[in-house]
Structure 1
Amino acid sequence: MKNNNFPRKPPWLRVPLPVKSEFTQVDRMLADAKVHTVCRNAACPNIYECFSRKVATFMILGDKCTRGCTFCNVGQAKPEPVDPSEPQKISQAVSKLGLKHIVITSTTRDDLKDGGSGQFAAVLHRLKQDHPRATLEVLIPDFQGSLDALETVMAAKPDVIGHNLETIRRLYLRIRPGADYEQSLGLLRHVDRHGGGIAVKTGIMAGLGETDDEILQVLEDTAAAGVHVVTIGQYLRPSMQKVSVKRFVPPEKFAGYKKAGEEMGLKMVCGPLVRSSYHADRIMNQ
């Protein structure tokens, strides 16, 4: 019987199971290191490919979020206290994986006065100390619009600061309750204007109920804000409790988004399985 809540995925969204032993090794190593990854906690469809490549995106500040975004698989509950040993744990995991490009994201921590920006800075400082040749990318929450918190992260000098818009302006109330489109756009603009050469990155999902014209409007907005890299991927419902998929966007549509964004001066990474940190190491090299 067809389940309308989980419609059958088209062929371009079918992910092959891992065939390399590296996947199991990486999964076990990260669990033993007691570090969180967005790969596992957010149920990313690319986990098999990335772990098999010995690549992971670390998630700091615990695995419980203070927001209730209707698309995200990360648990919403009262978070644990900030772990002071987290920078060391992340650094040790980086050494075991042999990463040359390190991506750090976090849960949203509205319960913390600084939004968790101090922990971002602490992790970045430790990674710079232990892995001076690595490039560093952070994917930050909106810090409730606090420029002081943003400046704390900027002062730690990552190579890339990303903050995902996630969706179009019209859908914010339903998809990102507690967030604001203009506020998020303002954070990206601030990094471009005051970041001293830090690359600026954002990402959105397709298939949440937006139109193609609305996606193009987001691209215009991000280009005007000084964003350098935009990722667009297909939204996939992670559980029955999350908002349903409104459409499956075919590969040729993603190719159209890519062409339009590049004509606006953006570096575009588009595709059904693209996520904001997908192939981040290769994007950095480019």
Structure 2
Amino acid sequence: MLSIFPPWLKKRMPILREVHGVKTILAEGALHTVCEEAMCPNLGECFSQRTATFMILGDICSRNCRFCAVRGGRPAPVDEREPENVARAAGKLGLRHVVVTSVSRDDLEDGGASHFVATIRALKALPDSPTVEVLTPDFGGEEEALRSVIEARPEVFNHNMETVERLYPLVRPQADYQRSLRLLKMVKQWGHGIYTKTGFMLGLGERQDEVRGLLQDIVDVGCDIVTIGQYLRPSPHHLPVVCFYEPWEFKKIGRWAQDLGIRFVASEPFVRSSYQARGALLTLAGRE
């Protein structure tokens, strides 16, 4: 088990005034962010730039992934005001690109898909309509739930693979590797013009050949954007870090992804799913 961070895993202190301002706006709408709930190491940087990733459907997940800091348990009832509150907060923050994710809600018939739809529509109804990126759970493999979110037309549809197939029973015991791949493939098939995106962590004990295999699977389902970052243990109750990858190793794996044909790759230790997400969208849109 590794507990001492290497020197390249250090972050600068954020501008506290801006962080407080974002927290105040979020509190006004009783909103959650994955930045806070998942203990993202980029929280200070992003909040100081007045950006955040909204986490809808509450802050308690119906699953219990062993890498994630979000609490598992019995989720609270859905707040029907949340889509409008997200849109209001996005407007106050002046966001041009909004990322919306959620906890998994296996207790809901559609896995929370209708709430994603309502949130996308509320954001697109803003006077200065931002581009929208969703980072969704797998909706239990329900195709109609997935189709409804696609039909709401977010610009980017993200669903994270998280790790290699062999480690799924250990890391994501309630998820399914092939089901996640199918979801990404269906978004690409049905969501003409929507960019697809996924991400995964390094440092959980994966082998290099397995990382290459995961990248090939991502390419085979037509994914446009991939984010790759270092796994950091949220608490002693979570999976330990098996190894810390050095920055040059992230660059090497990023080149593998590019050589395989993935159109936009972000591969660095502190990269997370929505880190500098607007830049990826603008880069791809500029290449069209």
**TM superposition score category, shorter chain reference:** over 0.9
Is 2:165 aligned against 1:169?
A: yes
Q: Give the 5 Å matches for 1:103-122.
A: 103-122=99-118
Name the counterpart of 2:86: 90
Q: Secondary structure at the match of 1:254?
A: helix
The aligned counterpart of 1:277 is 274
Partners of 2:60 and 2:72 within 8 A in 1: yes
Match of 1:80 among 76, 81, 86: 76
- Return the letter of the residue paired with 2:229: G
The equivalent of 1:152 in structure 2 is 148
Of 27, 33, 36, the match for 1:37: 33
1:55-91 per-residue CA deviation (whole Å, 9 max, x = no partner) reads 1000000000000100000011111111110011101
2: CA distance, partners of 1:227 / 1:285: 16
Give 2:134's aligned amino acid.
Answer: V
C-alpha displacement at 1:131, in angstroms?
4.6
Unmatched tracts of structure 2, length 5 or more: 284-288
Aligned amino acid, residue 106 of structure 1: S
Aligned to 1:59: 55
- Residue of structure 2 in register with 1:186 after alignment: 182
Q: CA deviation at 1:18?
A: 1.4
Tell me the secondary structure at the aligned position of residue 13 of structure 1.
coil
With structure 1 as the length reference, what TM-score do the two structures score? Answer: 0.96
Q: Return the offset for 1:50.
A: 0.2
Alignment size in residue pairs: 282
- Find the residue that maps to 1:12 and give its secondary structure: coil
SS in 2 for 1:278: coil
Which segments of structure 1 move beyond 3 Å, counting only runs of 4 or more?
none
Task: Give the alignment partner of residue 130 of structure 1, picking from 83, 101, 126.
Answer: 126
How many Å apart are 1:132 and its aligned residue? 5.1
For residues 89 and 240 of structure 1, the distance between their equivalents in structure 2, rounded to whole angstroms, comes to: 34
2:278 & 2:109 partners in 1: Cα distance? 32
Identity between Structure 1 and Structure 2 (%): 46
1:11-26 pair list within 5 angstroms: 11-26=7-22
Instruction: Write the distance in 2 (CA, Å) between the matches of 1:131 and 1:214.
Output: 46
Alpha-carbon offset, residue 133 of structure 1: 3.2
Asked whether the 8 Å contact 2:188–2:221 carries over to 1, the reply is yes
Q: Give the 3-state SS of the residue equivalent to 2:182 in structure 1.
A: helix
Alpha carbon RMSD of aligned pairs, Å? 1.0
The answer to whether the 8 Å contact 2:123/2:129 transfers is no
Output the amino acid matched with 2:138.
D
Any stretches of 5+ residues in structure 1 without a counterpart?
none
In 2: Cα distance, 1:194 partner to 1:105 partner: 20
Query: What is the TM-score with the length of structure 2 in the denominator?
Result: 0.96
